[in-house]
A = this chain, B = another copy of it.
Amino acid sequence: MTQEIETLIENKDFKGLKNILQDMLIPDIADTLNNIEDPATTILVYRLLPKALSAEVFSYISPDAQETIIGYLNNNELSFIIEELATDDAVDFLEEMPANIVEKVLKGATPETRKTINRYLSYKEDTAGAIMTPEFVRIKLGTTVENAFDYVRKQCKDAETINVLYVVDDKKTLKGVLTIKELLLANKEQTIDEIMTDNIVVATTDMDQEKIASIFSKYDFLALPVVDKENRIVGIVTVDDVLDVITEETTEDFEKMAAVHTSDDEPYLKTSPIKLAARRITWLGVLLITGIFTSMLINMYENTFVSISALVCLLPMLMGAGGNCGTQISTIIIRSISLKELTFKDYFKVFFKEFLVSLILGVLLGIIAFVAVTIQYQSAMLGLATALPLLLVIFIADFLGFSLPLLAKRLKLDPALIATPILTTILDCCVVFVYFNFASWILGF
């Protein structure tokens, strides 16, 4: 919210405010409304908007502000909004609302709108059905280009996009797609059958949204048709919704890799401390318990490290090196898998490449460790007894770091779930085992 608007609100200069709002872009108006803390002021400012803008602004504001505004609207205003909203925006909004508000809103809708919304609300979350919209332009097979323009003009107003037009037969089966550009370049007398593309990429209503995002990235589409089992077109997914999907999926991947339970994309500041703690405690608890097993493993080498206390001092350094190395390669591999640059078929290519990478990394790190430990403890033998196990640790860490995600992919599990901390825990045990055994052997125990 700009200083100017803040001042106008403080001075209750609603006329000035109205003028400013009219010249603003919709997402900026929405930002302003989101940032007003007092509900009464929110609704006051919202009511200043021209009616034509109000529904669209509504679709951009935060669920909290939506709930506030809904509480103040009368039935007429409510039905106006729900009728004007694009179906996908209405569904998004209703999914965030408590049951009593959903009921109130649906009461205000026409039977037809209510039916459509209810159908859309029944699609499973994160599928094409849940993010598609039925507001697209349909043209019948056999229409001439000239008539097609009339159709577009007629259906234009309600359509989410007119950049892609959908050609259907009498049974609403999708027969082809056509861009507005192709229509503009064609002769008026041609039929759309001659100029449409009949090699169509489609989504099914139950297709996962991540898959849809990858189709958009590959084909550079602006919209993707969604069809039912009889190949009848039931909706389209537009690229702006795909941007939101990508953001959501990326957040999920980050959270999984940091061992956080993924949320229903609630913003951090809106989430209660109890919910935040709940999303984190499971993994922290599990990892703490595995940490206790590591400690028991270390305990078994008590005789070794009581004789040479340096070993136990250096252990966290080796664990750290292994963990960092494993995190690096698993992140690189998980990302390559999700960009479809890598599949399990490439396992041996990765194996040979990483064998060389580990060798380079292990030797270089081994040299650093040898020098540092030899200086610190005045013992070249101890330096060697640290550097050599470190080399082995790097090999193991790297091997597990690329194998686990690729194996997960092969088993149709989520590679990101082989998250850093799980990997690190397995590694910790390996490091204890390798270091204490190897070092005792070198130092002649």
Which positions in A face B, CB cutoff 8 Å? 23-25, 27, 149, 152-153, 156-157, 159, 162-163, 180-181, 184-185, 199, 201, 216-220, 222, 239-240, 242-244, 246-247, 250-251, 253-255, 257-260, 267-269, 273-274, 276-277, 280-281, 283-285, 287-289, 291-292, 294-296, 298-299, 302, 305-306, 309-310, 312-321, 323-325, 327-336, 339, 341-342, 346, 349-350, 353-354, 356-357, 360-361, 364-365, 368-369, 372-373, 376, 420-421, 424-425, 428
Contacts and interface: CB of A to CB of B under 8 A. Distances in A.
A320 B332 contact: no
A208 B172 CA distance: 45
Contact of A218 (B27, B149, B201, B360): B27
7 contacts: A24-B199, A163-B163, A239-B239, A268-B341, A277-B361, A281-B365, A292-B317
Nearest to A221: B240
Contacts of A288: 317, 320-321, 365, 368-369, 372
A298 B312 contact: yes
Contact of A325 (B274, B284, B296): B284
Nearest to A314: B295
Contacts of A244: 217
Given A201-B25, A317-B288, A327-B421, A357 B276 contact: yes
A180 B19 CA distance: 27
B259 A327 contact: yes
Given A157-B185, A184-B152, A254 B335 contact: yes
B342 A269 contact: yes
A349 B269 contact: yes
A2 to B, nearest CB: 14
B153 A184 contact: yes
A178 to B, nearest CB: 14
Nearest to A315: B316
Contact of A316 (B163, B316, B368): B316
A424 B320 contact: yes
A181 B162 contact: yes
B156 A181 contact: yes
Contact of A335 (B251, B277, B428): B251
A242 B23 CA distance: 27
Nearest to A278: B360
A302 B309 contact: yes
B199 A180 contact: no
Contact of A320 (B280, B291, B372): B291
Contact of A292 (B283, B342, B373): B373
